[in-house]
Structure 1
Amino acid sequence: MKRVIFAAAAIAMAASTAFAAPKRAELKVWESAGPEKTFVQHVIKAYKKVNPKVKVTYEPVEATDARAKIELDGPAGVGADIFVTPHDHIGALVQGGHVLPVDDADAYMADFLDMARVGATYDGVVYGYPLGSETYALFYNKDILPEAPKTWDEVVAYAKKFNNKAENKYALVWPVADGYYGYMFMESFGAPLFGPKGNDRKQHNLNSPAAIKGLTYFQNLRKQILDIPAADASGDFCNAEFTEGKAAMIITGPWKINDFKKAGINFGITTVPAFPGTNHPANTFAGVRLAFVSSYSEFPEEAKEFAKFMTSKEMLQMRFEDTDQIPPRKDIVTDNELSNGIKEQLKYATPMPTIPQLGTYWNAMGSAYSGIWDGDNVKTSLDAAAASMEAAK
């Protein structure tokens, strides 16, 4: 009798399991706070109308922090299903097994710019969902400086009239120890990182004659333009200087447009001035902001569907309206005074390399830029950076 009861119970349990409703998909999205947060919230609201069965929540994680966070939180089961980060992290993300490839990549990428495809691809496979194209440019306060300088020689000449160290007033500010901005002193003087295609670690060019020339020029700018220690020229300091009208110009990117608008600054955006011996704006680093689907997601198919929805024409048009950041799609045309300055600088921008050795560049050259700005020997500093690159795996 007991065997019959147990058998019946087992059958009932199996039946209930077989007919149980599938678990509702729940997705978590990581993206930076600020205007990007507004965009993601708009996407979540729009997606709910399209697919109400999927619950999507937003969690603020700065794009530059997302890779390190997914490496820890993903395996622990508490990471995001979709996260946003710059494209230069793609190599480490793929090699670490943290992200999933894009399904039907050729069809999906057909509407995106070549730059976006390059940034979203690693070792011939597309992993990223492009959200925005970005680089840094010259922002200038029109109430202080009605017309922006075209060359660094003009910046130096203007600094002689404008600078007042006692009042913390400087013609131009930028985070001098940040390798993202410092790169313009390499490529503009003829030292492209990892060679012309950005994929050969042996051609790092960190201590090449061209790099030494560019970083010597960089070092000489301290006394002429921004005579403060590298540690003091942080992003927060530079943003505050420009916001408070103590700096006439700042080199930064489209992620600051909304903040400066809210601060009521009458500003324009144009290309970074040309260096001596060149006849075009400075060469800068370009980035593609990408969404990735985590390989740890419990709902990978739903996450991929949301990522494609987030990067659709309609959503990226909305993103431009929310953030003023350039959509990387061919079928979206933007035209406003501020974004046009970024678009013009993008013509002279090189996508950041995606090989994992870029991580060594950030660490080694961050130290070099800081030390050189503060007076260290240029060649010695660059030789040390090169040695770190060559010793890295």
Structure 2
Amino acid sequence: MKRFLAVLLIAVLAVSMAACGGSSQSQQNTGQDNQSTTVEGNKGVELTVWSHLTETEVKKVQEVADKWASETGNKVKVLTDNSDFQAFATAANSGKGPDIMFGLPHDNLGTFYKAGLLEPVPDGVINDSDYVPLAIDAVSYDGKKYAIPLSMESYALFYNTDMIKEAPKTWDEFVNVAQKYGFMYDINNFYFSYAFISGNGGYVFKNNGGSYDVNDIGLNNEGAKKGFAAIYDMVNRYKFMPADIKGDIAKGNFQSKKIGMYISGPWDVQSFKDAGVNFAVAPLPKLENGSDMKPFVGVQAAFVNANSKNKDAAWELMKYLAENTPIPLFETGNRIPVINSVLNSSEVQSNEILKGFADSASKGEPMPNVPEVQAMWTPANNNLTLITSGKLAPDKAADQIVAQMKEGIATMQ
């Protein structure tokens, strides 16, 4: 998964100070063109959109934006952008930033939010009930939306249909199939292994009604420790994979048909098709306690720059793009829609592969959208390596993860 990392606290503080004077934290889609009401006075405006989507996807977004521009008498430039947070903040605070950022992983929004760069979403731009609930949660702070969700992604279980006719649904079925046909994944990557922890009752930060308590870390509670023990067992008890397994090796073994199951995301679909692998995708199996695994879900989001001089027009364009880009992005980039009517449409539901990822995501939870989440990755990944190698007991590693996260968060205060 591609992740646009936020910079350290020094950059956030510097930008926040610079932004203090200028920030103002203030239809169902079928893929067909929808009518967009234009507020009188927002004609003849030229809007700039930056996007972290792929070049091909950006072209599709430009096509949709051009239709809006033609209907409203405005102009829109959609540009591919790979800059980091500091570059965006510098541009935004100097009046050289875009009006809209379109296509940004939601777990990076917290840094922009704390720097005062996100304009609150006005009433009427979207209806929350039209969206998958977790998508709304992913772009909200203290119950208020600061971005528009565009699509979601998560990981699921790939299985070779020449070997396995039906995906295992229970833990016992999963273990039996894995022992017979083989199973691997990037086990020391916390992004993928989190599902085993969350399904047992662990969590990163306590979510109190849409607000994360970064002082309440649940990665060493009883459930989390059971999850870490299950991860240990997959290497040391069941011998599914070596302790030093890497994602590319696991992928290669599935692609070469050496193993029957593999955990990953939609980004691996095309390479398996090109290699002639007959496969299907299903939600992760239930855990030994009977609970669903809860994989991390990433949401691609879009926001209006709080320093834009054309906010009204920008929100009109944003509404139009939110309504009219889901199907083009689904067809072009395998982006799973977050608008319920599109997600449940025949076009999406008939794609069995992407439906498998959508079903898996429906059981998951969004990655925390606060800057403090950056303090999670290194301790979690390092301690997973200690667990799988047998160098540190799962319960001790869990305690160490939390202690190291607290140390990291303290440096961000």
TM-score tier after normalising by the smaller chain length: 0.7 to 0.9
Name the CA shift for 1:76/1:381 in 2 (closer, same or farther; >3 Å).
farther
Name the CA shift for 1:323/1:91 in 2 (closer, same or farther; >3 Å).
same
Aligned to 1:190, the other structure's residue is in SS state coil
Name the CA shift for 1:107/1:185 in 2 (closer, same or farther; >3 Å).
closer
Task: Name the aligned partner's letter for residue 50 of structure 2.
Answer: V
CA distance in structure 2 between the partners assigned to 1:102 and 1:196 by the alignment: 22
Who is 1:331 aligned against?
341
Larger helix share, 1 or 2:
1
1:214 equivalent in alignment to 2:230: no
CA distance in structure 1 between the partners assigned to 2:231 and 2:197 by the alignment: 10
CA distance in structure 2 between the partners assigned to 1:128 and 1:122 by the alignment: 10
Tell me the CA shift for residue 355 of structure 1.
3.1
1:121 equivalent in alignment to 2:134: no
Tell me the CA shift for residue 233 of structure 1.
1.3
With the length of structure 1 as denominator, give the TM-score of the two structures: 0.78
Which one is further off, 252-261 or 187-196? 252-261
1:48 equivalent in alignment to 2:61: no
CA contact (8 A) 2:101 2:302 kept: yes
1:204-231 CA distance string (max 9 Å, x none): 122223222221221121142443344x
Q: Give the % identical residues.
A: 27
1:372 equivalent in alignment to 2:391: no
Tell me the CA shift for residue 182 of structure 1.
1.8
CA distance in structure 2 between the partners assigned to 1:67 and 1:267 by the alignment: 38
Who is 1:39 aligned against?
57
Q: Which runs of 5+ in 1 are unaligned?
A: 1-21, 163-170
Who is 1:98 aligned against?
117
CA distance in structure 1 between the partners assigned to 2:296 and 2:287 by the alignment: 16
Tell me the CA shift for residue 95 of structure 1.
0.6
Aligned to 1:84, the other structure's residue is in SS state strand
Who is 2:46 aligned against?
25
CA distance in structure 2 between the partners assigned to 1:94 and 1:134 by the alignment: 22
Task: Name the aligned partner's letter for residue 326 of structure 2.
Answer: L
Name the CA shift for 1:260/1:107 in 2 (closer, same or farther; >3 Å).
same
Tell me the CA shift for residue 300 of structure 1.
4.7
1:10-58 CA distance string (max 9 Å, x none): xxxxxxxxxxxx997352422233xxx4333122123213315424233
Q: Which runs of 5+ in 2 are unaligned?
A: 1-42
Aligned to 2:113, the other structure's residue is in SS state helix
Aligned to 1:32, the other structure's residue is in SS state coil
CA distance in structure 2 between the partners assigned to 1:375 and 1:79 by the alignment: 49
CA contact (8 A) 1:255 1:325 kept: no
Who is 2:78 aligned against?
57
Name the CA shift for 1:158/1:89 in 2 (closer, same or farther; >3 Å).
same
Aligned to 2:205, the other structure's residue is in SS state coil
CA distance in structure 1 between the partners assigned to 2:117 and 2:204 by the alignment: 26
Tell me the CA shift for residue 184 of structure 1.
1.4
CA distance in structure 2 between the partners assigned to 1:257 and 1:300 by the alignment: 38
CA distance in structure 2 between the partners assigned to 1:68 and 1:374 by the alignment: 37
CA distance in structure 2 between the partners assigned to 1:70 and 1:383 by the alignment: 37
Tell me the CA shift for residue 114 of structure 1.
2.4
1:174-197 CA distance string (max 9 Å, x none): 222222222112222222332364
CA contact (8 A) 1:131 1:328 kept: yes
CA distance in structure 1 between the partners assigned to 2:370 and 2:327 by the alignment: 31
CA distance in structure 1 between the partners assigned to 2:402 and 2:94 by the alignment: 36
Task: Name the aligned partner's letter for residue 338 of structure 2.
Answer: P
Name the CA shift for 1:221/1:72 in 2 (closer, same or farther; >3 Å).
farther
CA distance in structure 2 between the partners assigned to 1:67 and 1:158 by the alignment: 44
Name the CA shift for 1:316/1:233 in 2 (closer, same or farther; >3 Å).
same
CA contact (8 A) 1:255 1:323 kept: no
1:1-393 correspondence runs (5 A): 25=46, 27-33=48-54, 37-52=55-70, 53-59=74-80, 61=82, 67=85, 70-71=88-89, 74=92, 81-104=100-123, 107=126, 109=128, 111-162=130-181, 171-195=182-206, 197=208, 199-223=212-236, 224-230=238-244, 232-234=245-247, 236-278=248-290, 280-295=291-306, 300-312=311-323, 314-332=324-342, 333-334=344-345, 335-336=349-350, 337-377=352-392, 378-391=394-407, 392=409, 393=413
Task: Name the aligned partner's letter for residue 145 of structure 1.
Answer: I
With the length of structure 2 as denominator, give the TM-score of the two structures: 0.75
CA distance in structure 1 between the partners assigned to 2:78 and 2:126 by the alignment: 28
Task: Name the aligned partner's letter for residue 113 of structure 1.
Answer: V
CA contact (8 A) 1:85 1:291 kept: yes
Task: Name the aligned partner's letter for residue 58 of structure 2.
Answer: V
CA distance in structure 1 between the partners assigned to 2:94 and 2:385 by the alignment: 36
The structure number with the bigger radius of gyration is 1
CA distance in structure 1 between the partners assigned to 2:75 and 2:219 by the alignment: 48
Aligned to 1:283, the other structure's residue is in SS state coil
CA distance in structure 2 between the partners assigned to 1:72 and 1:216 by the alignment: 45
CA contact (8 A) 1:90 1:122 kept: no
Name the CA shift for 1:101/1:260 in 2 (closer, same or farther; >3 Å).
farther
CA contact (8 A) 1:324 1:339 kept: yes
CA distance in structure 2 between the partners assigned to 1:120 and 1:240 by the alignment: 35
Give the aligned length.
354
1:155-174 CA distance string (max 9 Å, x none): 43334444xxxxxxxx2222
CA distance in structure 2 between the partners assigned to 1:121 and 1:69 by the alignment: 24
